[in-house]
Every structure is written in C-alpha cells, then in structure tokens.
Structure 1
Amino acid sequence: MSTDTAMQPASAALFISVEGLSKRYTQYAPPVFENVSFAIEQGEFVCVIGHSGCGKSTILNVLAGLEEATSGHVIMANREISGPSLDRGVVFQGHALLPWLTVEANIAFAVRSRHPKWTRAQIAEHSLRFIDMVGLKGSEKKKPSELSGGMKQRVGIARAFAVEPKMLLLDEPFGALDALTRGVIQDELLKICEATRQTVFMITHDVDEAILLSNKIMLMSNGPRAQIAEIVVNTLPANRQRETIHHDPQFYRIRNHLVDFLVHRSREFRPADYDNQTQPRLVRPGLDEGAAPIGDSGPLIRAVA
C-alpha cells in the first residue's frame, strides 16, 4: 500500500516535482547536495550525470521512498512521496534477484504484491508477457545461477515493469555489463518505454548512453553541496538509432557539451556562475540565455545547437 500523502496539485502539466531537496548525513558535515529542484513530465526519459559523491543515487532513493531527505520534498502525481510504493519500480546496479526462485517466480513474486487477489494463472500469464518483452522467453524455469549477467539484469527490468509502476527508477543498471549486452538491453528498454509511455529517471556515467536514451540530461555539480547545474535538452530526433546516431552532427555538439561540463565546469560550478543569479535560471529551449528567469530556483535548461 502506498504511504504517499495527498497534496494539492502543484501543476497539471507536471508528473514529478522536486523542490528544495537537500541531504546532510551529520550536523557537522556539509550537505551532499542542497537546494535541488527539478520537474519531470509524464512519459519523459531523464538521465542524471555527475561525478561520484554528488548524491545521484541518494536523490533516486528519495524518489523511490527508500531514503528521507534532510529538507525539501518530492511530489508525484499530486501526492507527496513519503515512503516506498508500487507506483515506483526500481532497478538497482545489482540484479537483486531471489536466488532460490526461477525467472518466472521472481517476477510473479512482484506481481502478486501488486495484485494480491489475482489467481495463479493470471499472475503467470502477466509475468510471461514481461518475460517475453525483455527477450527471455524460454528461460522462465531457470534460476539466477543459470543466467548470464545481462539476462539477470533483464529479469530485474521485467520485474520492475511487471508491477506496472507510474515511474521507473534506474540506478546505473547496465554499468557492470559488457558493451554488447548493454547495447541489447538498452534497445529493449527503448522499445518498452516507447510502447508503454513509461516515465524514467535514470542514473548513468555513460554520456553516449544518456544521449541515446533520454529526452533530457541533468548535469550535477560536484559534491559536497552539489546541485543540478544544467538540464540539457536532447534535440536529436526521437526515433534515433544506435547504428546511425553518430552520423548526426548534433550528436557531437551535445556530447562535447556534456563532456566539457564533466571535465571542467562541474568541478568549478557555483550557482552565481549563471548571470549572477543565486540559483541557475530556467532558459527555454530555442531562446537565448538572456531570457528572463522562470521561477526562483529552476536549473538552467540549455538546448545545445
């Protein structure tokens, strides 16, 4: 059962609204991140990139309801997140499968939590649909010890999708996989998201992966006191393909912008860096950066051209 608390609607256009989020582990240490604010629309695929220690996974855990922020709050579909919920599916860096259960049973375990009144046949039918969706048909009766690393991660993705969450949270789910397997699963994820209009919040260290998968890329400054420095809008065509994406000149403009931030600007960023504002400004894509700020604490949005 969800532990989310009812709130007044923040905005009819927004699905996720993160406002003034900060996290401090002890009173004597500076916050890992502070005053983090951003919004996600329904159906968006958002990637977060930043150096280790900037609090990316902590923000994801707050969105999942697995960790509490020191200050600020997160509103999802007009309800404040205050604990775990089946409305949010999480895929961790490790597959986190139950080793004594088969592929089918691992997924059925999650489906049963979502639909406790379903019959065994209904649960099995539903589980098999998502097993097929991630390309594991024929491996239903195998246990995790009989699967490759990539196959285990597919089970984790299928399990998260099978509970039909309103939002999918991915914490570097492909980081430990070889390049070929990672590419196959990325393609599967894109197909599923296109078919289901799934909202996704994903952490990655892979710039090319972010450009391939996401609509927007959030760039975090270095911790402590990390912030969302920029939100870069991915202006490549929505139907981009791995085999041809690098032929578009825009790919390299975006990639160079992201790499430049990670190598140089992330280490030196301060909120005042952007036009002496106390917080980065929200700049609409397609307008120059002299446009008026929108809101008091919105991050800078750049359409890289």
Structure 2
Amino acid sequence: MPTELVQIQGLAKRYGDAIVFDGVNFTLTEGEFVCIIGHSGCGKTTILNVLAGLEQASSGHVFMAQREVAGPGLERGVVFQGHALMPWLTVRQNIAFAVRSKWPEWKREQIDAQVQKYVALVGLSPALDKKPSQLSGGMKQRVGIARAFAIEPRMLLLDEPFGALDALTRGTIQDELLKICAATKQTVFMITHDVDEAILLADRILLMANGPQARVAEIVVNTMSRDRQRASLHHDPQYYRIRNHLVDFLVERSATLSHGRAPELPPEVRPGLAPIAEVVSLETHPTPIRSHA
C-alpha cells in the first residue's frame, strides 16, 4: 500500500479582494508522478511555490511526511522554467554546490561521486566541466534536473521545465526523466500546458478550473500502463479517450467549473468552500474516441 507523502488541505491564495484559487485539496503518495494542468492565471505556479515553501498561502495547509511546510527545505527539489544555473560555475560545480548544502559533512570525493552519478543519468558526462554559456538550452535544463535529483529529495517540483525547448529535445528529456523516476521511485509534482506530456508522465492529472476562485475541479487517473513509451503512446486504445477528456475540459468545461462561477454548490459543501474535485477514471467514464487536432 503506497504511503501518503503530501497532504494539501483547503489551500487558498488572495491578493486583496482578488481570490486566485480557493479550496484546493489533494494528496500525493510516495513514488507518484502528478501533473497539474490549467489555463494561465489559475494559480498553478503559486500552488507549486507554496509546496516548495517559497510562497505563503492565504489560508490552508501543506503537510509533508506529517510535518507542515513552512519554508524551503532540501527534502524538496525544484526545477523552474529557466535553468537557474550559476553562470560562473561549471556543471560539476553547480551541482556540487547543491550536494554540499545537503551533506555539508561529506568529503570532496563523496560529493564528486554524487555529482558524476546524476550527470551521467541525464547523459551529460562529456559536459561535466563546461560552463552554462557553453551549453544548449536543453543541456542547461538537464543540468537543472540533475542538480535537483542529486540532493535526493523526497519530492521533486517541476514548473514547466521543458516549455521553452524544441519538440525533439523535450522528448529526449522526458524519456530520461521517466527512466530516473522509475529507478529512484521519485515523487513528482509537475506543472505543464502539454496534454500529451501529462499523459506520458503522470499517474494522475489535476485539472484546474479557470479563475477567479479557481480550484482543482477534476483528478484524472491515468489508466494506461506505467511502462508506456512516447513512441507508442498513441497506439494505446486508452490514449485518445484520456486525451479527449483533458482537451474537452480545457476547451469547454474549465470556464464553468470555478468556484467563482458555480453558485449552486452541493448541500454538503459549506458556504465559501469549493466542491471537492471529482476523481475520474476513463475506464469507467467512456468518451467517444475522436482525434483532436
């Protein structure tokens, strides 16, 4: 039975009278890969920043391993849209800096072994002593991923890390990410705008309704085999069923399901709280199989 690692309870974020999201509730279990999708402005990055301890919610709680998250911590690794590497340091030095922060008592040889292990996992050993200016955009993102994995966090937080990459590079890094997560049983929470990326990577996909007062409206269980491959994804009969459901949500239903636009709440929901997200498994929610361009 998987262990519940993270609990998010009643999370809300307000800026003055403007409510970005409200009543956000979900959990993550050990070794689970969860993606969150929604239109710009619904608060996805703010939720990730609260999980990382980089931002405070207006109300609600985040618990990790039964302890409330109150600030940044090395049990959580973060990879942002930009690589955030220190330009004056080499790949080796950038990652060693993070490793030394996690294990200050380690000797130089231990740190270097840890660095080389994770640089090899992302296929960058030949670039170990190069500086960021000598690397392509995709290589920089791989360094960022290697740095996050090298501190062996209990949870990895990814904020659209492949959004600026070309399709070929993005696909290669997705494959590497899947391999590393499978090998390390890493727990991952990832923001993406790419429906196919979510289907490839995620065990569950959180669908955010639009703001104001956005919320997690649905949690879609990915019923495809966990050893799915990018090249053969579209051959699985479940692929279009799941994809159509996600696209239909984003195109049609997301605008009508936010708390701010849903005055008719079920009687069991207290005033001021959004309804709990519906959990959807497409094995039990058949959808006509049609291709969305």
TM-score normalized with structure 1 length: 0.88
Residue 134 of structure 1: aligned partner? 122
Between the aligned partners of 2:191 and 2:224, the Cα distance in structure 1 is 20
Which residue number in structure 2 is paired with residue 179 of structure 1? 167
Q: How many residues align?
A: 277
Which sections of structure 1, spanning at least 5 residues, go unmatched? 1-11, 281-295
Q: Is the 8 A contact 1:37 1:297 kept in 2?
A: no
1:117-170 residue CA offsets vs partner (Å, 9 max, x unmatched): 111111111100000010001110100000000000000000000000000000
Task: Give 1:277's aligned amino acid.
Answer: P
**Runs of 4+ deviating beyond 2 Å:** 270-273, 275-280
SS at 2:63 equivalent: strand
Identity over the aligned pairs, expressed in percent?
A: 64
Are 1:21 and 2:39 counterparts?
no
| Pairing 1:284-303 to 2, within 5 Å after superposition | 298-303=276-281
Corresponding residue of 1:201: 189
Once residues 108 and 297 of structure 1 are traced to their aligned partners in structure 2, the CA distance between those partners, rounded to angstroms, is: 45
Q: Distance in 2 between matches of 1:270 and 1:85?
A: 32
Query: What amino acid does structure 2 have at the position aligned with 1:166?
Result: R
Summarize deviations over 1:29-58 as a string: whole Å, max 9, x none: 321000101111111000000000000000
Provide the C-alpha distance between the structure 2 equivalents of 1:243 and 1:13, rounded to a whole number of angstroms.
31
Which residue of 1 is the match for residue 290 of structure 2?
none
2: CA distance, partners of 1:253 / 1:170: 26
Cα distance change on mapping 1:242 and 1:81 into 2, 3 Å: same
Question: Could you tell me how far apart the structure 2 residues matched to 1:270 and 1:64 are?
Answer: 25
* Correspondences of 1:1-305 after superposition (within 5 Å): 13-26=3-16, 29-270=17-258, 277=266, 298-305=276-283
Q: Is 1:45–1:213's contact at 8 Å kept on the other side of the alignment? A: yes
In the TM superposition, residue 13 of structure 1 has moved relative to its aligned partner by 3.8
* CA distance, structure 1, for counterparts of residue 203 and residue 50 of structure 2: 22
Letter in 2 for 1:19: Q
Q: Do the aligned partners of residues 115 and 269 (structure 1) sit closer, same or farther apart at CA in structure 2, a change above 3 Å counting? A: same
Q: Tell me the CA shift for residue 176 of structure 1.
A: 0.2
* C-alpha distance in structure 2 between counterparts of 1:87 and 1:278, whole Å: 39
Identify if the C-alpha distance between structure 1 residues 74 and 97 changes in structure 2 by more than 3 Å, giving closer, same or farther.
same
Cα distance in structure 2, aligned partners of 1:204 and 1:77: 25
1:85-127 Cα distance to aligned partner (Å, 9 max, x none): 0000000000000000000000000000001011111111110
* 1:287 equivalent in structure 2: none
Q: Could you tell me which runs of 5 or more consecutive residues in structure 2 were left unpaired when the two chains were aligned.
A: 284-293
The Cα shift of 1:223 comes to: 1.1
Cα pair 2:213 2:258 within 8 Å, conserved: no
Taking the aligned partners of 2:7 and 2:192, their CA distance within structure 1 comes to: 21
The 3 A distance-change label for structure 1 pair 268 and 279 is farther
The residue that corresponds to 2:289 in the other structure is none
Structure-2 change in CA distance of 1:135 and 1:85 (3 Å): same
- Give the SS at the match of 1:24: strand
Partners of 1:251 and 1:34 in 2: CA distance: 31
Q: Give the match's secondary structure for 2:106.
A: coil
